[in-house]
Structure 1
Amino acid sequence: MVFAPDTEVALRTVVNLINSAANGEEKLATVADLDRFLEAEGFSGSRTRDAAELASVHALRAELAGLWTADEDTAVEGVNRLLREARALPQLLKHDEWDWHLHATTRDAPLADRMGTEAAMALVDVIRSKEMDRMLVCAADDCDAVVLDLSRNRSKRYCDTGNCANRAHVAAYRARRAAGE
């Protein structure tokens, strides 16, 4: 394990959120799409379930996508801004199936603030651990999805949104065969 379990969960949620708009495909087009996303990610707390909430999550997604590929100083500025704007106050909580873990907003804070704060807290761990090189963009030429490499040998290069790794391996195999003929 590279990070604490709650950090890894938050980072995977960031990946899934950013990738919900990867390759020109909008997977959070409606409030119902957002409902399904939050259910799948196990995100709890208050909701307004309206267009404004969806728009705020879209804005957060764009901001997190920018932070994913940012240099360390820019990432620090963005993380600090997210925490400051949400008036983050870190505290240990235990709820649902989770043992003690860190939250920095209340359950009734606006959804985008809660999501942004969780993402920012996870990115704090990544930045402090000097592990930003684990935050990648898919190596496939035709994919712009992001990748979180939690492998021991830092070998993950392709996203989980499609068949990018399989397509790259097949293309490499065909190229080797063509070169050998």
Structure 2
Amino acid sequence: MKNGFDLFQRGFLLLLFLVCSPLFSQENEGLYASAEQTSVLVLEPSYRSSKTNKSFGKKYHYLVARAYFKLLAEAQKSERKLRTEFERYTFENEKFDRDGNIAFQKKLNLAYTKYKAHSAMLSGLKSWNLFSENRTGDMFYFMAENEDRIFQMYKGKLAEDKMVKYLIYKLADLYHLEGEK
């Protein structure tokens, strides 16, 4: 009778995994804002530059949006992993009473520090409020700071993905350096 129940449990878990895995699958490299619309959201329509042309301006908004949302998705995924790691150490500390184990406590403290630092960075990214009327000026600053370099890449016909990767790097750098101050 026990084997039949274990088989039922395994079947239920397999079914649950197959049903839920598409909901949590975020490994895709593509950016899908909406499958129903073909228009592109311009994040800061009032951002204008006298240095570049109008067609680049629209492309630049699109590239910055892609970079921002890819970085945000990766940061959220990393935050979940770091939280799970911290929770695992906390559970293990409580369950096995590892308060006296100095090596384990260092690992627990490091997991906590990583989780808190990453959460602060993620909070900073989210604070831009890109879909809100109350957006911060950080996007203007970031776009102005990186416009020349991206325009040079655009004129050099560099692939969009490479420009987006550069912007992701600059965004991540901005928040990692900001978190160290």
Q: One fold, TM greater than 0.5? A: no
| TM-score normalised by L of structure 2 | 0.28
Flag the structure with higher helix content. Answer: 2
| TM-score normalised by L of structure 1 | 0.28
Flag the structure with higher strand content. Answer: 1
